[in-house]
Chains A and B, each alone.
Chain A
Amino acid sequence: MMFGACAREKEVAELLRRGHWPHACSAELRAHVAACYACSDLVLVTQRFRSARADAAGVARLEAPGLLWWRAQIRRRNAAIERIGKPILDAQIFALAVTLLATAGLVISQARHGLRWMSWFDELPRSLHLATLWPATLTSFDGRFWLLVPVLATLALVSGVVVYLASEKR
């Protein structure tokens, strides 16, 4: 028996591919295959694998193609939505970063000047003439304006949440 690669392997492979092996080939080639290790390996392996393929294909459990089609459509749509959302999220992160930086810069610069801007809050009710709108008991209270700040902040926060929830539902 011959060992190693054989020059006639291509010929045998072609016969196997066409389905001509073993009946539609010469007796000389059959004798060669019987004596050649590489060619007999080729014949044995090819026949076994083709047989195994036919058997396995016969017992394949196939999913409905329509289901796979729709699953792919949903995945493509989700990918598109994600692509849309990513720049928006990036822009929001950028805006937040800029805001934080600007706030930090403002606070640092004002801190260097002794926080004089705090006096602006005390002047604000007078400049807006809030005394005419506010109850006298409240305006007479010392440090009264500091009550107004958390109230306004809470109001703004609640408004934002309400608007957000309303737009989400829509």
Chain B
Amino acid sequence: MPWESVIPNLLAGEARPLACPPMDSEAFTAFYERSARSLWAYLARVSGDAALADDLMQESYVRFLCAAHPDDGEVASRRYLFCIATNLLRDHWRRPRSASIEEIPEEFFATPGDSAQSDSKAMLGPAMRLLRPRDRQLLWLAYAEGYSHREIAEVTGLASASIRLLLFRARRKIGRLLREQSNDDGGQP
């Protein structure tokens, strides 16, 4: 039997439990259109690196398509996608680097001519940079994505019971930083 006929059989049959075809091309395109912007925002704002966010987002989707993922709706698929992205971020932080991500300036994201975006980044960016990566992840998932504690635990792999306390501490810290920043700028909190 030639190899060309063996491989598709494997893909269709034997390999199915390991990596069932999750979506066809059209379904994936629709899912991508609905989820890519929020995933990129998560990666870019938590990592502080737009180029890294580009790379990790692509890798997240490729792994999502290759893996056997939960087949219970788009919400679960989206959560699974965020879980992959979170693991990739963690792997990136674990790798030794010549420069820390903390050293990358927030101005890297600046888009000239868009004052509303610049204002938002200027207000949140410096405070985010003063937080630990895990706290950034927790805060973003909870307050930007609106995930529950249980969902955050699934995405991050942390114990569900500890999410509440970690989130409370992280929120208190960033709240204080944002207030200090507002006071320094003379603006409203």
Contacts and interface: CB of A to CB of B under 8 A. Distances in A.
B124 A49 contact: yes
Interface in B6-29: 6-7, 10-11, 15, 19, 25, 28-29
Contact of A17 (B64, B116, B146): B146
Given A45-B139, A49-B144, A57-B37, A75 B178 contact: no
Given A69-B65, A80-B10, A50 B19 contact: no
If over half of B's interface residues share one DSSP class (helix, strand or loop), that class is named, otherwise mixed; here it is: helix
B126 to A, nearest CB: 12
A61 B28 contact: no
Contact of B45 (A56, A63, A73): A56
A63 B6 contact: no
A65 B28 contact: yes
If over half of A's interface residues share one DSSP class (helix, strand or loop), that class is named, otherwise mixed; here it is: helix
A16 B11 CA distance: 47
A53 B41 contact: yes
A150 to B, nearest CB: 36
B89 interface: no
Interface residues of A, number: 39
Contacts of B57: 63
Contacts of B99: none
A58 B178 contact: no
B184 interface: no
A60 B37 contact: yes
Interface of B: 3, 6-7, 10-11, 15, 19, 25, 28-29, 32-33, 36-38, 40-41, 44-45, 50, 54, 57-58, 61-62, 64-66, 109, 111, 114, 116-117, 120-121, 123-124, 139-140, 143-146, 168, 171-172, 174-175, 178-179, 189
Q: In the A-B complex, list the 4 residue pairs whose CB atoms are closest, starting with the nearest.
A: A72-B65, A56-B41, A41-B175, A57-B37
Given A55-B120, A66-B25, A72-B61, 9 more contacts: A41-B171, A48-B124, A50-B143, A56-B41, A56-B109, A68-B58, A76-B15, A76-B65, A84-B7
